[in-house]
Structure 1
Amino acid sequence: MSTSWQSEVSPDPIKINGFGWGLIVLRCVPLALLIFGGLLVLLTLRLFERPFCGLRRPITPFVTQFVCRNALRVMGIGFRTTGNLMRNRGAVVANHSSWLDIFALNARKRIYFVSKAEVANWPGIGWLARATGTVFIERNPKKAREQTLLFEQRLKADHKLLFFPEGTSTDGLRVLNFKSTLFAAFFSDHLRGFMFVQPVSVVYHPPKKEPNRFYGWWGDMDFTPHFLKTLAVLRQGSVELIYHTPVPVSDFANRKKLAAYCEETIRLGHQTGRNGLQTAD
């Protein structure tokens, strides 16, 4: 994301009482053991997987999926999905609201995120991203052909790449306009013939008595306070994934039309998913 989205309303103040700090400790310890224990298992398996399978990863994505699904359980966050997973080769696109998106989207489907290059150098998160096969890209037109070739290699290896076309995260109450730049790679001569795209709406339902944007992480918000605030809630809310029907790239004249279709589909699913919310924004 090159420019972070900013809300007109300041983020809600973070207040954690003694009971909340107790919950943080109770959840942090098993969460750390799960994530870093899973990382150790993944890296060990990758030592054998890489020489025999090369770019393909027939085993290690199951480790990532197991860790992410159980991380949501440890945090106490509910998880549900509707719709069918795409079986075709291609990419997944979703709206982006929070760091929790990584856990939620990995929990149901074995995917590989496409992320800005800077993330690779972030302490902790960068290591996890590299280990799980994240594709790092630079927002540089001179790199467009090189990145298209990288996408081709990964997609032909049956990797499901996941893009956030908004280019930034939000408060979870809206879907921003999609940037069509990354969709251009799907229209290359080597991909357009077999490539499918599946839109996914990510909807967060907040804990009771908490604002609807409770799980949103945007703008200049620091990760650590938001992470601690999330763990400090006894009765968590939930995240819902709505998988829409995959569409063949060849059905669209150009990247802008495909991006517009995905944006409209995801926005409608997001609005529908949020209809049941009754807490105040």
Structure 2
Amino acid sequence: MSRTWNGTEPAPTPPITLAGWVRVVLRGVTLGTVTFGGLALLLTLRLIERPLCGQSRPVTPWLTQGVCRVAFVILGLGFSRQGRPMRQRGAVVANHASWLDIFALNAGDRIYFVSKSEVRGWPGIGWLARATGTIFINRAAREAADQRDLFSRRLAAGHRLLFFPEGTSTDGKRVLPFNSTLFAAFFKDDLNPEPAIQPVTLVYRGPRGGDPRFYGWWGEMEFGDHLLKVLAAPRQGDVTLVYHPPIAASAAGDRKTLARRAEAAVRAGLDRHID
């Protein structure tokens, strides 16, 4: 079962003004049109891509990346990258702060999410996740062998995977201890070439003068309420992706050491950039 982080409650959100509702409608309709229009185009392209390329996806990840970059323009939320996404086979691990992480990490690189199995059934988000090649798993040690096999097949197809080792989202101002279970998949004997893990730090800055945790989504927060708050905001902040040097699995030696090294890199990146 996924854990939930419960921190100090944020300040109450003021009622949305008339101008705020105008922004909700304009941004929401535009974002929905671009997102689900992109999904329809992606599914159409997969009808051609799948029989020609199988599990490999040489075209559709570019569409996903483009849609996610446009999403930040629609929201008026600044987006930037520091460092470079790795090109070798392996996975990306990041701290988890918000539902916006999905847009940010897809905008930064062409990756495939590893998500908890219940997301598959979520309205809207579940459809998007399935269409973009998300891997759905149960975070249980007893399923580690099956996960290694599944990851191995996806890595062999040239996919860079992405998962959140914290197992839950926070207010974006801290990094929780990394769970090492999923790191075991990268020590499978027949993985060749050897995979690497690239730590990435997500750094959110709230709108100027507002709560620095504005984009954090944690505890019992409702998705709909948080989405409305972001859409209605008269001013937006920004998000930066900090790409750290990849870590070879063999250099770490075992899953727990690999998890600790990745966590240390992500934590150091947040400490350098946090306000």
TM interval, shorter chain, is over 0.9
Alpha-carbon distance in structure 2 between the residues aligned to 1:262 and 1:217: 23
Does 2:1 align with 1:4?
no
| Deviation, structure 1 residue 193 | 5.2
| Correspondences of 1:231-246 after superposition (within 5 Å) | 231-246=231-246
CA shift for structure 1 position 163? 0.9
DSSP 3-state at the match of 1:68: helix
Structure 1, unaligned runs of 5 or more: none
Kindly provide the CA deviation profile for residues 119-170 of structure 1, in whole angstroms up to 9, marking residues without a partner as x. 0011111010000000000123332211211100001111000010000000
- Give the Cα–Cα distance (whole angstroms) in 1 for the partners of residues 53 and 80 of structure 2: 32
Mapping 1:27-42, distance limit 5 Å: 27-42=27-42
Paired letter, 2:30: P
Taking the TM superposition and a 5 Å limit, the aligned residue runs for 1:46-85 are 46-85=46-85
Letter in 1 for 2:10: P
Structure-1 residue corresponding to 2:272:
272
The Cα offsets for residues 178-212 of structure 1, whole Å up to 9 and x where unpaired, read as: 00011011111122751111000000011011111
Answer yes or no: is the 8 Å Cα contact 1:193–1:249 preserved in 2. no
The total of aligned residue pairs comes to 274
Letter paired with 2:38: G
Q: Which moved more, 1:58-67 or 1:185-194?
A: 185-194
Taking the aligned partners of 1:193 and 1:67, their CA distance within structure 2 comes to: 31
| Corresponding residue for residue 13 of structure 1 | 12
TM normalised by structure 1 equals: 0.95
The AA in structure 2 aligned to 1:14 is T
Q: Which amino acid aligns with 1:194?
A: E
| Aligned pairs for 1:1-281 within 5 A | 2-7=2-7, 9-15=8-14, 16-191=16-191, 194-274=194-274, 277=275
Residue by residue over 1:76-130, the C-alpha shift from the partner in whole angstroms, topping out at 9 and shown as x without a partner, is 1000111011011100000000000000000020000000000001111101000
Shift of 1:219: 1.0
What RMSD, in angstroms, separates the aligned Cα atoms of the two structures?
1.1
Q: What TM-score, normalized by structure 2, do the two folds share?
A: 0.97
Amino acid at match of 2:188: S
CA distance in 2, matches of 1:140, 1:201: 25
Is contact 2:144-2:181 (8 Å) kept? no
The one-character-per-residue Cα deviations of 1:193-241 (angstroms, maximum 9, x if unpaired) are 5111100000001101111111000111100000000111122100000
Q: Is the 8 A contact 2:144 2:184 kept in 1?
A: no
Q: Which runs of 5+ in 2 are unaligned?
A: none
State the distance in 2 between where 1:127 and 1:87 align: 28
- Give secondary structure in 1 for the equivalent of 2:240: strand
2:166, 2:176 within 8 Å by CA — same for their partners in 1?
Answer: yes
Given that 2:97 and 2:216 are in contact with CA atoms closer than 8 Å, whether structure 1 keeps it comes out as yes
Amino acid at match of 1:156: A
SS of residue paired to 2:216: coil
Give the match's secondary structure for 2:84. Answer: coil
Q: Secondary structure at the match of 2:145?
A: helix
Cα distance between partner residues in 2 of 1:126 and 1:183: 24
**SS in structure 2 at match of 1:235:** coil
Structure 2 residue matching 1:110: 3-state secondary structure: coil
What residue identity is the alignment partner of 1:13?
P
Identity value in percent: 57
Give the whole-Å Cα distance in 1 for the aligned partners of 2:69 and 2:22: 23
Q: Contact conserved, 2:89 with 2:193, CA < 8 A, in 1? A: no
Q: Distance in 1 between matches of 2:158 and 2:193?
A: 15
Secondary structure of 2:104's counterpart equals helix
Q: Distance in 1 between matches of 2:139 and 2:109?
A: 26
